[in-house]
Amino acid sequence: MKFRLTTTLIALAAAGAVQAQDNVLHVYNWSDYIAEDTIEKFTAATGIEVTYDVYDSNEVLEAKMLAGSSGYDVVVPTTDFFQRQIGAGVYMPLDRSKLPNLANMDPALMAGAAAYDANNDHGVIYMWGTTGIGYNTAAVAERLGEDYEVDSWALVFDPEISAKMADCGISMLDAPTEILPAAMNYLGLDPKSSNKADLEAGAALVASVRDNIRYFHSSQYISDLANGDICVAIGWSGDVFQAQARAAEAENGVEIAYVIPKEGALQWFDVLAIPADAPNPDAAHAFINFIMDVQITADITNYVWYANGNAASMSLVDEEITSDPGIFPTEAAKANLWASTVYDARTDRTITRLWTRVKTGQ
Ligand code: N2P
């Protein structure tokens, strides 16, 4: 009798554990990259509970993906990192039969992502944006004059100009594969070059303004810009617009603007993907399909100020977003955007080494 009771309890406990696991989805996404109610709505619609963790660096995500057994069901790499990770067998092919909302996606944008993931077999576009400059308009006018037009990387990369801004705080993304190409672009070099000498020249330029940089970080600048604690940031488009919105909401007198420098900028795409060892691939597919719902994805864009890849959602996106050239670049700006470069392992090591030196000022 006692034996039977115990086995029954074990069976019940095991069933409970399996069921609990079936109904939990582990999402790992960028910080400040989803609407306030998206997760809540997903759970309400599907009964699937979500644990939601965040990162602010492709390098951090990549380390977890390459180590394996991350426990995550959905992650959001940028296409260049994504391609290399697909090569390492990190992601499972998507089951299109579980993704009917794929029909909502923009074919031209998906074709762009397919350059990194043949046939879009492993991922769908989540959001995209550019890496440009966020700045405090009053702080710039005060230091560089009312007539100074912020339209160039010179604000950060010209040592004399950035020296004048240093006191109010300049930050840079801690993202070497985005900052070094921007520096190379400013120098007139090909930002997509994997040539060691070009990367070294980019690193030398960043090093030359190192003393003017308060910090390298990829998420703190949102609130710091909004609060007036820094005045210039090389950052991601939507993050800068979120800073602008936070300042406006706080009515603290801080006015933030975003510019895609005239020399050019990186246009990046982040994709939703499922690790090959995801514990709950069914729930992962349900989540990705849910994100591709036109209303859900429009809500996210309206909250985070990043463009999405969902053509059918565009009519639900606020006009102040669709009409902003910092979010939807003009044709002229588009001509100067470059796409992410996929670096081989050797170049990647070079970049890491150069970046460590730049950051530590050695
Ligand atoms: C959101 C970061 C955007 C992702 N905070 C950059 N690829």
Q: Which ligand 1 atom minimizes the distance to the CA of 78?
A: 7
The pLDDT > 70 percentage for the chain reads: 94
CA angle 146–181–28, rounded 5-degree value: 100
The per-residue pLDDT of the chain, averaged, comes to 94
Cα 304 to ligand 1 centre (Å): 10
Q: What is the pLDDT of residue 15?
A: 43
Residue identifier of the C-alpha nearest atom 4 of ligand 1: 30
C-alpha span between 146 and 321 (Å, rounded): 27
Establish whether residue 106 lines the binding site of ligand 1, counting it when its CB lies within 6 angstroms of any ligand atom: no
Establish whether residue 46 lines the binding site of ligand 1, counting it when its CB lies within 6 angstroms of any ligand atom: no
C-alpha span between 274 and 172 (Å, rounded): 30
pLDDT one-digit tens code per residue, 91-120: 999 999 999 999 999 999 999 999 999 999
Site to substitute for ligand 1 among 126, 236, 269, 301, most atoms within 8 A of C-beta: 236
Which stretches of the chain are DSSP H helices?
2-22, 38-46, 58-67, 79-87, 107-114, 137-144, 154-157, 159-165, 176-186, 196-208, 221-227, 237-250, 281-291, 294-304, 319-322, 331-334, 345-360
C-alpha span between 287 and 145 (Å, rounded): 49
Given pLDDT bands bounded at 50, 70 and 90, which one contains residue 22?
low
pLDDT one-digit tens code per residue, 32-72: 999 999 999 999 999 999 999 999 999 999 999 999 999 99
Q: Is the pLDDT of residue 21 over 90?
A: no
Residue identifier of the C-alpha nearest atom 6 of ligand 1: 236
Q: What is the pLDDT of residue 12?
A: 42
Q: What is the pLDDT of residue 10?
A: 43
Establish whether residue 221 lines the binding site of ligand 1, counting it when its CB lies within 6 angstroms of any ligand atom: no
Q: Is the pLDDT of residue 159 over 70?
A: yes
Establish whether residue 42 lines the binding site of ligand 1, counting it when its CB lies within 6 angstroms of any ligand atom: no
Q: Is the pLDDT of residue 3 over 70?
A: no
Establish whether residue 268 lines the binding site of ligand 1, counting it when its CB lies within 6 angstroms of any ligand atom: yes
Q: What is the pLDDT of residue 361?
A: 87
Site to substitute for ligand 1 among 270, 272, 300, 340, most atoms within 8 A of C-beta: 270
Establish whether residue 72 lines the binding site of ligand 1, counting it when its CB lies within 6 angstroms of any ligand atom: no
Q: What is the pLDDT of residue 362?
A: 78
Establish whether residue 174 lines the binding site of ligand 1, counting it when its CB lies within 6 angstroms of any ligand atom: no
Phi, psi for residue 314 in degrees, rounded to 5: -60, -35
Q: Is the pLDDT of residue 150 over 50?
A: yes
Establish whether residue 78 lines the binding site of ligand 1, counting it when its CB lies within 6 angstroms of any ligand atom: yes
Site to substitute for ligand 1 among 29, 34, 56, 221, most atoms within 8 A of C-beta: 56
The pLDDT > 90 percentage for the chain reads: 93
Establish whether residue 178 lines the binding site of ligand 1, counting it when its CB lies within 6 angstroms of any ligand atom: no
pLDDT one-digit tens code per residue, 161-207: 999 999 999 999 999 999 999 999 999 999 999 999 999 999 999 99
Return the residue matching tokens 């992502």: 113
